[in-house]
Amino acid sequence: IAGITQAPTSQILAAGRRMTLRCTQDMRHNAMYWYRQDLGLGLRLIHYSNTAGTTGKGEVPDGYSVSRANTDDFPLTLASAVPSQTSVYFCASSATDNSPLHFGNGTRLTVT
């Protein structure tokens, strides 16, 4: 593993189903983030974590939850998927709050 790994790469999901997007980093970065990217809306922050054991809400947190049990992993869960959650999801990390972000290669999620 080098950098940030996201899984799955893509997924088609029936509405109402539960789904967890996985994100793992090996850079020992303190902060991790989940963004969604939609045409015309750019990248929007869903949730973030300053350090292991803490999380915070971003701009569009509703319908999503996260956990940060350790430094490396930051899964994003959709408890009951809805079609409006169809998007490309990017996980990112940064060493400090003023450091640039490093992104995973994204998960393309389609909720039908």
Partner 1 sequence: RKEVEQDPGPFNVPEGATVAFNCTYSNSASQSFFWYRQDCRKEPKLLMSVYSSGNEDGRFTAQLNRASQYISLLIRDSKLSDSATYLCVVNHGGGTSYGKLTFGQGTILTVHP
Closest approach, Cβ 107 to partner 1, in A, equals 11
Closest approach, Cβ 105 to partner 1, in A, equals 5
Nearer to partner 1, 20 or 30 (CB): 30
Nearer to partner 1, 2 or 14 (CB): 2
**72-104 burial: b if 16+ Cβ within 10 Å, else e:** bebbbebeebeeebbbebbbbbbeeeeeebbbb
Query: Are the CB atoms for 23 and 73 separated by under 8 Å?
Result: yes
The residues binding partner 1 (CB under 8 A) are 31, 33, 35, 40-43, 45, 48-50, 56, 58, 90, 97-98, 100-106
- How far apart are alpha carbons 23 and 76 in whole angstroms? 8
Closest approach, Cβ 41 to partner 1, in A, equals 7
